[in-house]
Amino acid sequence: MGLLLHFDDEAVLAAELARALGWPLAAVRCHAFPDGEWKLTLPATLPPRVAVLRGLHQPNAKLAALMILAPAARELGALDLALVAPYLAYMRQDMAFQPGEAVSQRHIGRALAGWFDTVLTVDPHLHRVATMDEVVPGRRGLAVSAAALIGAHVAAQVPGALLLGPDEEAGQWARVAARAGGLQADVCHKVRHGDRDVHVALPAGLAVQGRPVVLVDDVASTGRTLVEAARAVLAAGAATVDVAVTHALFVGDALAQVHAAGVRHVWSTNCVPHPSNVICVAPLLAQALRSG
């Protein structure tokens, strides 16, 4: 038995996760001073095992709070301290592409390893690093995937859909989702020219005429890749195009742009709070915490 700590903006997922774990739940109270500094208030005493739910979308202020929270939790009694971050930020920059670039994944991972005994996340954006154990060296790094949950949801909503990864990186999620839903999967080719400038090409010889297509990805941020992929499949004659993602960031007007490109439905997990949330990852997280 442990205790789950959470912040007010993630109370819904926290309640679902606490229920799935069978653990009590407590909120971390935050007070912002006029100069922007925070005061955090935790329960006066903590049990030996504590998990902190904190998704790291819009991460900078949240990382500062975790830097304060983790040692405070240990002072109050926590011996085994886990971070449950359904979305884990700063994973994309896993090498220096230009001289002088900071490798964000390495440095954030080491910081988290200094604060927590376990870091649990969902579908982390890993490429040249194979496992979460490498991200948080010397600690337990746990990663679970929501792809099978996404596949089951899509199969129920759009029977016979073609699942399409909008780029090569998304192929792994599209294929797992397809197997879970008994569907077909394929992967587009993407060329990125900038943060918001991408070109997406359909797989050679792929027939989408008259078929329902669902674009599957781990993260939707600016939405440009999804926009270009949606336009490509509709131009090729797809009957409908929907989107299913693990992490619905949708920065600025990204969601509106995705719908404007012809996307009918957008479905996401509740890893990141968003109006498109329809798939709950609490049981997935609870199972990983128990086994980890």
Residues carrying an active site annotation: 190
With tokens 């920059």, the residue in question is 93
267 φ/ψ angles, rounded to the nearest 5 degrees: -120, 140
Q: How many angstroms separate the CA atoms of 260 and 151, rounded?
A: 24
Q: Is the CB of residue 43 less than 8 Å from the CB of residue 12?
A: no
- Spacing of C-alpha 127 from chain mean position: 15
Q: How many CB atoms lie within 10 A of CB 184?
A: 15
- The burial of 133, by beta-carbon neighbours within 10 Å (0-12 exposed, 13-18 middle, 19 or more buried), is given as middle
